[in-house]
Structure 1
Amino acid sequence: MSGRASSTRQAVVIGGGLAGFLAARALAGDAAVTIVERDTLPTVPEPRKNLPQARHLHNLWSGGAGAVEQLLPGTLAELQAHGARRIPLTSGMVAYSPAGWYRRWDDSHYSISCSRDLLDWVIRGQVLAGNAAAITVLQRTQVLGLVGDAAAVTGVRIRNAAGEEETLNADLVVDAGGRASRTPHWLLDLGLDGPTAREVDSGLVYASRTYQAPPKTPAVWPIINIQADPRSGGPARSGAIQPIEDDRWLVTLSGTRGAEPPRDPKGFEEFAQQLRHPLIAEALVHAQPLTDVTLSRTTVNQRRYYEKTRMPRGLLVLGDAVAATNPTYGHGMSVAAQSALTLRDTLRRRGWAAPDLARHVQKGITRHLETAWTFATGSDVFFPGASENGPTVVERLAARYIDRLIHTATGSGRVARAVTDVMTLEAGPARLLSPDTLIAAARGPLKPSLQHPPLTAEEWQAIRN
């Protein structure tokens, strides 16, 4: 691509993670795409060096899974063929909220549950299998900067593994490089201001370990989620068990400042006993550890407002490079998938010749990331030291309403459905302000609080062996 004339549209995608490959798929029908990745991508489902967060719990909610399927038909079936679980919601989740146990209401949505290694491997394979001629992947290659000026970006400068530098010309550059994105600095190099940004840091630390499920565990096993109470006034602890491929459990525990989970195995299981309910600790008694404990402190909510920034033509930013949120709600992958779908649809609607193509996509993806940002920061901002000025008046009012919704959802199927609509990214936050939801929230829960976890007799037997 360097310096060569071509009648084919050229696109460069920075980053070979899930967001980058889905963006490449969105572009490949209309352009020759080069993915620039600094890492070596595995040829089998295994961890890669520059994605340490992959060892922790991930969810692909139905709103994101549906976007993946639109971009790559057959991918969900391929995931399930390799052992991924399709968890129905809400019957497939046992969750203890700050307001008490949720009931396992009739199913309305779902989550795809598997290791991040498997998910990325399947999606990479699906993208390349259908677009091998249109997509080139440059591994062990670093992007040094953008080519162009304040008016338009025309490519990127790269350095490959051999230390050789060259320029890749492009009609569109997509930065899907994650939290470590260099676009704010590159904009300064072009004489532009960087984006305004906000951070909300609860001090959350994640610790994860993989277990073999107990021998008598039913083939269909729920996600178990003991949630923190962000407005308890002190440090918060939470934890989850996620069933993944090969009859394994991925167990993730987390805690905010003053309640960080430890790295040692004994401390890990003791921490599980300190959650708001001991269910996870009880479930681990007969489970067999398969890995060491992995810690991560990369949990800051970080948002860059590119939709409000003067951007050069031909430059677009997607995924965690725009908004990276606390992994607790598992929205990152789903937002990336929905953003890639918006890229494809906007391109089809407006065409490559549109001078404001990237700007329209940048604004279009805002509605997807806004939901994830609202969920994550709406809780995290209440922890001491999470933000410079603490919760805003709007955030305090919104939190009071969310508290009411969560309380009502423990005993109202209608409100539980509305919350699930938004949590799975099947709907935006406006769904929680619909007349039927407002009336139901005002009425409160219709059923009494559950006093015990809503496990089936078979599930209890597996835990107690």
Structure 2
Amino acid sequence: MSASNMVPSPGNPRRAVIIGAGLTGMLAAQALAGETDVVVVERDTLPDAPVARRCLPQAHHVHLLWSGGADAIETLLPGTVKVLTAYGARRIPLTTGMVAFSPQGWFRRWNDSHYVIGCSRDLLDWVIRDQVLTGARGRITVMQQTEVLGLAGDASTVTGVRVRRAGGEEETLTADMVFDASGRASRTPTWLRELGVREPAVREVDSGLVYASRIYRAPEKTHGMAWPIINVQATIRGAGPGQAGVILPIEEGRWLVTLSGTRGGEPTGSNDDFQPFALRLRHPIVGEVIEKLTPLTDVKVTRMTVNRRRFYEKTAMPDRFVVLGDAVAAYNPVYGHGMSVTALGAVTLRDSVRRHGWGTPGLARRIQKGITRHINTAWTFAAGSDVFYPGSTRHGPTLGERAAARFVDRLIYTATGSGRVARDVTDVMTLEAGPHTLARPSTLVAAIRGPLKPQLAHPPLTDEERRALATA
């Protein structure tokens, strides 16, 4: 992988600057590399292997790359899924490869129509970064150990960024366009104030969720098997806190286990409490499975789970400046949509530049509005669900959110016994379709009719899977 601390030669007439070399920044760089030279400014030191980064503590927990996001990455970087699987990532079919206990009951393992990529976040980021930089042919330069101090320009137009190197020297990088891909810690609101621009409206939905994760060695009998994801979901509108757990098969014969709980029911960082917490979930399957397994790591805890959305698309933003990824909208990670929204947004970025032309007046605004449709779907799932936890917002759910929640509850209940409705729901969950598709007459009629099969009384594990666990 090639990454550099060098700045391209001055006077380049076509240059984009991207703030942040995470997943969002790398996919944005790939989206732009066919049109302009790209400088990615990164405050961290990027590893040359799939290992943890200091500035990415959430990487310790389960991350799902839904098929909608994986297909978007394939559009930008053909062959990436093949490379990931060569390094041990799992391509898990849905819903065939998922044992999931929803708030409305166990899902059946219907014939696969979608998929999810299961691997560690460290492997995913490293593979994508390597794919992008290896194929860049010198058009993408990464400035590591470099901090962005602010935006250059004024309230009408951004002309670059002010940066400080590791040695303390400061300079201004001029650019045709600037993209903020710095994630949840984005300083764009502060930078806009400095330019005299009004900050965007913001909405926060904070369930108080805490994540605790640990990696286990997978049972030997499961090696080579198409092992399913095991998922016990929280009851969002129940009387107590929402608690959940998931087991995700990842590379190198390991299982990544993440437990979560909202206010009053949070997991701790104690190794001794991890498995007992899993046993206390709505169903004890996660705790029962890991009871016999060998842990490979200590428990890692993260509390940065607030849903936060800044409405830049409705703000009088300076031209030539775009905000991407978690810097626009960050979601409760339990829904697994952040990476897929980022990938879909990168495709929209590429297509917008190709359609309207690099340097076209108003291009930044078109891009900012274009990525909103992907954000809307993920926000509906995450914030539209978390708003029902006590204390998530000052005023609680709106009437519209209450009505939508009742409809979703009915759909999920129907999906436990209807393969067609399960597919419709999975279309939206994997971001292959928008929520509006669930309002099709055929889906509405099916939801009114309800499930066609009786609910399952037990986890839908196969006999082979049960034997493998019994001999762990």
- Asked if Structure 1 and Structure 2 have the same fold, meaning a TM-score greater than 0.5 normalized by the shorter chain, the answer is yes
Which of 448, 451, 463 does residue 457 from structure 1 map onto? 463
Which of 271, 274, 289 does residue 268 from structure 1 map onto? 274
Runs of 4+ displaced beyond 6 Å: none
Residue 145 of structure 1: SS of its match in structure 2? strand
Which of 31, 35, 40 does residue 40 from structure 2 map onto? 35
Alignment correspondent of 2:163: 158
1:441 aligns with 2:447: yes
1:169 aligns with 2:211: no
1:340 aligns with 2:317: no
Query: What is the one-letter code of the residue matched to 2:11?
Result: A
1:299 aligns with 2:305: yes
Alignment correspondent of 2:222: 217
Query: What is the one-letter code of the residue matched to 1:400?
Result: R
Deviation at 1:321, TM superposition (A): 0.1
Deviation at 1:379, TM superposition (A): 1.3
Query: What is the one-letter code of the residue matched to 2:363?
Result: L
Distance 2:448 2:349 in 1: 39
Residue 131 of structure 1: SS of its match in structure 2? coil
Query: What is the one-letter code of the residue matched to 1:327?
Result: P
**Does the CA-based 8 Å contact 1:62-1:424 persist in structure 2?**
yes
**1:37-67 alpha-carbon deviations (Å, 9 max, x no partner):** 1111110000010000000000110000001
- Structure 2, gaps ≥5 residues long: 1-6
Deviation at 1:132, TM superposition (A): 3.9
**Does the CA-based 8 Å contact 1:3-1:167 persist in structure 2?**
no
Query: What is the one-letter code of the residue matched to 1:365?
Result: I
Which of 133, 137, 141 does residue 136 from structure 1 map onto? 141
Query: What is the one-letter code of the residue matched to 1:433?
Result: A
**Structural mapping, 1:300-449, within 5 Å:** 300-449=306-455
Deviation at 1:3, TM superposition (A): 9.3
Which of 105, 109, 125 does residue 100 from structure 1 map onto? 105
Range 213-222 or range 98-107, more displaced: 213-222
Alignment correspondent of 1:186: 191
**1:278-327 alpha-carbon deviations (Å, 9 max, x no partner):** 11111112211000000000000000000101111110000000000000
Alignment correspondent of 2:70: 65
Query: What is the one-letter code of the residue matched to 1:256?
Result: T
**Does the CA-based 8 Å contact 2:95-2:109 persist in structure 1?**
yes
Alignment correspondent of 2:89: 84
Deviation at 1:247, TM superposition (A): 1.1
Distance 1:227 1:461 in 2: 24
Query: What is the one-letter code of the residue matched to 2:410?
Result: R
1:247 aligns with 2:250: no
Query: What is the one-letter code of the residue matched to 1:45?
Result: P
Query: What is the one-letter code of the residue matched to 1:36?
Result: V
Query: What is the one-letter code of the residue matched to 2:113?
Result: S
**Does the CA-based 8 Å contact 2:8-2:141 persist in structure 1?**
no
**Does the CA-based 8 Å contact 2:275-2:291 persist in structure 1?**
no
Alignment correspondent of 2:4: none
Distance 2:212 2:110 in 1: 30
Distance 2:8 2:133 in 1: 22
Distance 1:391 1:196 in 2: 18
Residue 208 of structure 1: SS of its match in structure 2? strand
**1:356-380 alpha-carbon deviations (Å, 9 max, x no partner):** 1110010000010111100001210
**1:112-147 alpha-carbon deviations (Å, 9 max, x no partner):** 110000000000000001004001101111000000
**Does the CA-based 8 Å contact 1:3-1:169 persist in structure 2?**
no
Distance 1:462 1:100 in 2: 24
Deviation at 1:2, TM superposition (A): 8.4
1:259 aligns with 2:265: yes
Which of 235, 241, 266 does residue 235 from structure 1 map onto? 241
**Does the CA-based 8 Å contact 1:2-1:167 persist in structure 2?**
no
1:290 aligns with 2:296: yes
1:280 aligns with 2:286: yes
Distance 2:308 2:77 in 1: 29
**Does the CA-based 8 Å contact 2:217-2:255 persist in structure 1?**
yes
Distance 2:236 2:255 in 1: 26
**Does the CA-based 8 Å contact 1:3-1:168 persist in structure 2?**
no
Query: What is the one-letter code of the residue matched to 1:39?
Result: D
Identity across aligned pairs (percent)? 65
Query: What is the one-letter code of the residue matched to 1:267?
Result: D
**1:388-425 alpha-carbon deviations (Å, 9 max, x no partner):** 11000000000000000011000011110011000000
Deviation at 1:383, TM superposition (A): 0.5
